[in-house]
Amino acid sequence: MKLTDFKVLTFDCYGTLIDWESGIFAALQPLLEKSGLRLDRDAVLARFAHHEVAQETATPAMIYSELLTEVHRRLAAEWHVAVDEDAHRRFGASVPDWPAFPDSPAALQYLKQHYKLVILSNVDRTSFAGSNKRLQVTFDAVYTAQDIGSYKPDPANFRYLLDKLAALGFGKDDILHTAQSLYHDHATAKMFGLASCWIDRRYDRQGWGATAAPPPDVSFDFRFPSLEAMAEAHRREAEG
């Protein structure tokens, strides 16, 4: 199997293209400062992951900006911090402020020359529009949790993706699902027989950061520490 075998790259966005861990941690600073707790970054991200998964499970039809508002409310309760409603909503609206990984725009622009680029993301359309400006590329299709009514790793999200791409003339063998989260993406991608590429942004750190731990049998077909490394591997293949 080679990178050049595929026609479509389907992307998770947050954690893969957008540095959501830095964005989340920065947006939680006011709450952390008010709490007086001395938690390291990964401890904060782990608590975020716990509450995000719980909220997505409880309210799968809730759009992501509202869901983040509830996650902030949960964290405030856990850390015994009283804040006003505006503080919760500011966190919910913070996604467009989350930075892109430095390599994402140039790598996407290169990959766009060789593939259709498609987003499958646990996000709402308004939040993604802000992130898309940072990525500086036009995606061929964008499928969000708001469109689908559920959150990955729900199989419904991948079923929706495959149905939409089939209508455009692409089958499973044409698609390489490209994502950071083994929990949200790779496990379900494999359930559907999709090839997948792990962009292991946390390759030099322990733990799972802002995502839940994956199932023990999760697998993938390619692994790179960055999107730039993936693009470079494609370039080497293409040049023979």
pLDDT in tens, the chain (240 residues): 999 999 999 999 999 999 999 999 999 999 999 998 889 999 999 999 999 999 999 999 999 999 999 999 999 999 999 999 999 999 999 999 999 999 999 999 999 999 999 999 999 999 999 999 999 999 999 999 999 999 999 999 999 999 999 999 999 999 999 999 999 999 999 999 999 999 999 898 888 988 988 888 899 999 999 999 999 999 999 887
Clarify whether residues 196 and 164 are in a common domain.
Answer: yes
Clarify whether residues 117 and 58 are in a common domain.
Answer: no
pLDDT of 204:
86
Clarify whether residues 227 and 110 are in a common domain.
Answer: yes
Total number of domains in the chain: 2
Clarify whether residues 79 and 111 are in a common domain.
Answer: no
What's the pTM?
0.92
Active site residue 163: no
| CA nearest neighbour of 155 among 118, 105, 192 | 192
pLDDT of 188:
95
Clarify whether residues 31 and 146 are in a common domain.
Answer: no
In this structure, the number of other CB atoms found within 10 A of the CB of residue 162 comes to 19
Please, are residues 92 and 68 in contact by the beta-carbon 8 Å criterion? yes
| CA nearest neighbour of 172 among 207, 151, 196 | 196
pLDDT of 217:
87
What is the domain range of residue 83? 21-97
Domain of 207, CATH number, reads 3.40.50.1000
| Distances, alpha carbon 201 to alpha carbons 184, 186, 208, 227, in Å | 15, 14, 10, 9
H-run or E-run covering 175: strand 175-179
Report the alpha-carbon distance of residue 237 to residue 102 in Å, rounded. 23
pLDDT of 179:
97
From the list 12, 19, 124, 185, the catalytic residue is 12
Clarify whether residues 229 and 158 are in a common domain.
Answer: yes
